[in-house]
Structure 1
Amino acid sequence: MNEKISVLDVAINGYTAKKAMKETVDYMHTEPLNIIEMVTVDTLMYAKEEPELRESMSQLDMVLPGEKEILEGAGITDRRRLQEVEEQTYLRMFFRYLHKNHCRVFLLVETDEEAQAFYKFLNESYAGIQITGMAKVSAEDKGDELVVNAVNGDEVDCVIAALSAPIREEFAENNKHLLNARVWLGVGKMLKMTRQDGSRKMRFVRFMTHRFFKREIQKNRKE
């Protein structure tokens, strides 16, 4: 299933994990920078009200579902596909590729806590990945020029951006032609080691976001 699916007016690649990984490997051997994004429910809900964000996302090289509810919203019920997304199969395959090939990676995060958790996760699970550097990026202080210089100075293969929307899309769009890397992987807050949803408040916010998402999907189907 390689055709694109549309969820809340955002086009998403309907790739299996294997197909997405094949495309990614091709990206790792080509220039210029290719941008991959894992979209989540909260990103789609945000994009629904922001046409500029939807336009930015339409320019990305590959957009993949980061939560199974997105596939369900597109009417996909295949158990294997839902399981792949739920278990983050594509991400695990990509991290193994980076590990096996000792790729050089630069991390972008929003907080010190996320930086520590992300660094620890990669070091413990995928020690072959060479983490050359890390930088904090926020809506208030994007520091584009400094980050671009740091990435280019480290001669990295991949930039992994654990940033919220629309920060990651704006940064990638503004700097795509300046970054000397092969792949930009935007993962947002979907990675378990960067998600800060342990508190009751954050679990409630996540629950309500998914609830509103399902309501929007049902509304669109009726229309």
Structure 2
Amino acid sequence: MSDKIKVLDIDIDNCTAKEAMKETMEYLKSEPVSVIEMVTVDGLMQMDELPELKENMQEFDLVLAGDKTILEAADITDRKFLQETEGHLFLKMFMRYLHKNHKRIYLLVETEEEGQEFYDYLQRYYSGLQIIGLAKVSAQNRADDMLVNAINGGEVDCIFAALSAPLQEDFIMKNRSLLDARVFIGLGKESLPVKKAGLGQSRIGQFLIRRIFKKEIEKRKRSQPNQFSPAK
């Protein structure tokens, strides 16, 4: 479908929103659940010291950059790719498709506040969506069996997870074979559609994380240039 880039030992699909959407449409027709991961700067840094997790991510069906900073780290300069990534175009296209076709979705979040914000956002902009359920996922008090049963009982088409790394990745890796949904989309914290100034991580916090990320990338490029090469 597309070329791949490698950033911090994670293969990322370097494709347009239209190409990603085409693949996702096929996933909705097939079984078992297909996994789409929207990697973020913060997520990459959290997973950097977890080689087993990064290796297991190679089994995901589609891994997309959720931040143009990630593409820039791989020396991607194509304006179309950068603009689409910055504007979360794929996610918006997919949301519109689910809305138009009245698909059933389930939301996974970490806090009640995030869940309410996500739910309100979907009700405001995609009211045709059938939000079957919303549940908190905690790293301290995992109740995967109960969550899987609730999701499967709702006969959902798509699961949206807005969780921190590596909680998000660990959840789907352990439960992928048990879920009856067609698509699992790992949004990560910072790809959550409702994120804006004043919600979640502050702009100053985001700026600091990106600055640390860029410095780490520069250091790695000097010492381990293969980590940023096109994936073979």
Distance in 1 of aligned mates of 2:14 and 2:201: 33
Task: Show the 5 A alignment for 1:45-124.
Answer: 45-124=45-124
Q: Give the deviation of 1:197 after TM superposition.
A: 6.5
1:149-168 matches, within 5 Å, as 149-168=149-168
CA contact (8 A) 1:109 1:115 kept: yes
Instruction: Point out 4+ residue stretches in structure 1 off by more than 6 angstroms.
Output: none
Relative contact order: is structure 1 or structure 2 higher (C-alpha 8 Å, sep ≥ 6)?
A: 2
Q: Which stretch has the larger CA shift, 200-209 or 138-147?
A: 200-209
Question: Which TM-score applies when normalising by structure 1?
Answer: 0.95
Q: Which residue of 1 aligns with 2:227?
A: none
For 2:87 and 2:193, the matched residues in 1 are separated by: 14
209-218 or 196-205: bigger deviation: 196-205
How far does residue 8 in structure 1 lie from its aligned partner after superposition? 1.1
Task: With the length of structure 2 as denominator, give the TM-score of the two structures.
Answer: 0.91
Residue 17 of structure 2 is aligned to residue 17 of structure 1: yes
Tell me whether 185-194 or 42-51 shows the greater mean CA deviation. Answer: 185-194
Give the aligned partner of residue 206 of structure 1: 206
Q: How many residues align?
A: 223
The alignment yields a C-alpha RMSD, in angstroms, of 1.8
Q: Which runs of 5+ in 2 are unaligned?
A: 224-232
In 2, distance between residues paired with 1:200 and 1:132?
A: 24
SS of residue paired to 2:132: strand
Q: How many Å separate the matches in 2 of 1:167 and 1:195?
A: 19
Structure 1 distance, partners of 2:201, 2:126, is: 32
Determine if contact 2:106/2:131 at 8 Å carries over to the other structure: yes
Unaligned runs of 5+ in 1: none
Q: How does 1:109-148 map to 2 (within 5 A)?
A: 109-148=109-148
